[in-house]
Structure 1
Amino acid sequence: MQMEPSVNVLGTTLEMCSRDPVTGFFRDGHCNTCYEDQGLHTVCAVMTAEFLAFSKYVGNDLSTPRPEFGFQGLKPGDQWCLCASRFFQAHDEGCAPRVRLEATHEKTLDVVPLDVLQEHAAD
């Protein structure tokens, strides 16, 4: 798997999203991506109870621990590399989490306009 360059939506070096819990398609703490990342796990989002409930409702339960996969479950305040399309869906539904622009990969812009990301900026 060849990783895309580590550049954020602002055109600078992609910052760390989270190591606790460890996140990212490559589980390296960054929202890096590659061709094989069909979900485009590139949005560094700060979890909220509202977003976690929404995600569970639409079929992606991020809050329940799954020890068989080494997943402790997310809670409000955790940072996580979300799929760009899920973030955009949450935006459309009015429950998008905050976004760390410096830690959100530029490939996100293939799915989500920069002004939408800026609207939810946590930085």
Structure 2
Amino acid sequence: MSPLNVFKQPLAFFSNQPVTGYYRDGYCRTGAADYGNHAVAGVVTEEFLDYSASQGNDLRIAGLREGCKWCLCTSRWLEALGAFRDGKISRNGVPKVHLEATEDSALRRVDLETFREFAARAETNGVNGHTGVNGVNGH
């Protein structure tokens, strides 16, 4: 069965610069061996990278920097969301999410409305091609 995104549509390709995904194929798809559930298609910021490193997960060693697209563990994304809600980091510290490239397995831990709050751009079931704030489309 082909992986589905949070809209129950075919999972969109996310990134090959850097090559991301549990299977290093550019898709945020998971499988039985992926205990971290690398399903969230996120765009990292310096604040997120700093926070993640402070929590023992330094993604810079994988070559990540501000603006990189990376398939994040659902629990790590939730950790950043919790830190934002607790006032430990700013909203910018929570990676923006590309919904069409986020596997539906992430919905076991995060509801769609929460993901929509942090969407990288307006995405509605693959129909909407609108750009986000100030015309930036997350690329």
TM-score normalised per structure 1: 0.88
Instruction: Report the counterpart of residue 98 of structure 2 in structure 1.
Output: 100
Which of 74, 87, 91 is the aligned partner of 2:81?
Answer: 91
Give unmatched runs, 5+ long, in structure 2.
85-92, 122-139
User: RCO greater where, 1 or 2, for CA within 8 Å and sep 6 or more?
Assistant: 1
Q: Secondary structure at the match of 2:39?
A: strand
CA–CA separation in structure 2 for the residues paired with 1:96 and 1:114? 15
How do 1:26-105 residues align onto structure 2 when only pairs under 5 Å count?
26-64=23-61, 71=62, 73-94=63-84, 95-105=93-103
Larger Rg: 2
Q: How many residues align?
A: 113
CA–CA separation in structure 2 for the residues paired with 1:115 and 1:79? 21
How do 1:8-23 residues align onto structure 2 when only pairs under 5 Å count?
8-23=5-20
Q: Percent identity?
A: 43
Give unmatched runs, 5+ long, in structure 1.
65-70
Which of 18, 21, 24 is the aligned partner of 2:21?
Answer: 24
